[in-house]
Amino acid sequence: MSPAALPRIEELQAPGAWRSIEFISDLHLQVDEPQTFEAWRRYMAHPSADAIFILGDLFDVWVGDDEAQQPGFAADCAAVLLAAASHASIFFMHGNRDFLVGEDFIGACRATLLPDPTVLAFAGKRWLLTHGDALCLADTKYMEFRAKVRTAKWQRDFLAQPLAQRQAIGRQLRQESEEFKREVAHYAEVDGPAAQAWLEQADAQVLIHGHTHRPADHVLALGRQRMVLSDWDATAQPPRHEVLRLSRDGARRIALP
């Protein structure tokens, strides 16, 4: 990865009062999977950490903040986030499915939109946070698509369409996604040299990300680490709803009941 391709990395200093932080990603919430939504609702109703960081793909698809302004699934999700914000600081980072989540929705939920990538300074370490899709360089088709849909013009043109039309496009994207999952055995993997370059630029010890649906802890060169978050699926056997918790004692994975 060339130095010119390295992203701008924002920084967030954790307040001194924070004792623990939890990370989740890739819940892919959708109305057709109520079990996963209910597992997430239970988790958010009683947060035990000082902050919850949602590192992308909370939603399976997001077609605009105006969808949450009328009764329905999006509004139900907003209510869960708003209630949780009374008990913990909520941070949201865009994923490849919900990159259209905007300031209107985030503000209404009393959450904070987190740039991708961001360095979190906490417990004497620098943790580099990203959704992960921008590091999957081998998936050239997706990277071309990502570059197109992340432009202000594309998003402005898409959001200018009537909500019903955008919802129809969202349903089509869900169907295409299910077909893709049946045809492709694995998601693309993070590019190792690119991950190292990001960590070096950020002067960070640990990279935390989701997207690949391959939860694991990887040892990298120069004493660095890459920690991959689990996706959520309450219908799997066994069910998958795991959080990564940071505390003064380090990082550990917690499987929720």
The pLDDT tens digits of the residues spanning 143-162 come to: 999 999 999 999 999 999 99
pLDDT at 181: 61
From CA 183, how far away is CA 21, in angstroms rounded? 36
The answer for residues whose C-beta is within 8 angstroms of residue 120's C-beta and 6 or more apart is: 12, 14, 21, 53, 126, 127, 128, 129
Q: Which two tokens stand for residue 151?
A: 């432009």
pLDDT at 184: 58
pTM score, whole prediction: 0.94
Read off the pLDDT of each residue in 34-39 and give the average, rounded to a whole number.
98
The answer for residues whose C-beta is within 8 angstroms of residue 194's C-beta and 6 or more apart is: 1, 135, 137
pLDDT of residue 2 exceeding 60, the answer is no
Question: Higher pLDDT residue, 186 or 79?
Answer: 79
Per-residue pLDDT band at 3 (split at 50, 70, 90): very low
Q: For a pLDDT cut of 70, what percent of the chain falls above it?
A: 94
The answer for residues whose C-beta is within 8 angstroms of residue 95's C-beta and 6 or more apart is: 25, 26, 55, 56, 57, 58, 131, 133, 210, 211
pLDDT at 61: 95
Per-residue pLDDT band at 257 (split at 50, 70, 90): confident
pLDDT at 174: 80
Dump pLDDT digits (tens) for 97-123. 999 999 999 999 999 999 999 999 999
27, 57 Cβ separation under 8 angstroms: yes
Give CA torsion, residues 33, 36, 38, 42, to 10 deg: -170
From CA 196, how far away is CA 192, in angstroms rounded? 6
Domain boundaries, the chain: 3-255
* CATH, domain range 3-255: 3.60.21.10
Q: Which two tokens stand for residue 251?
A: 């990082």
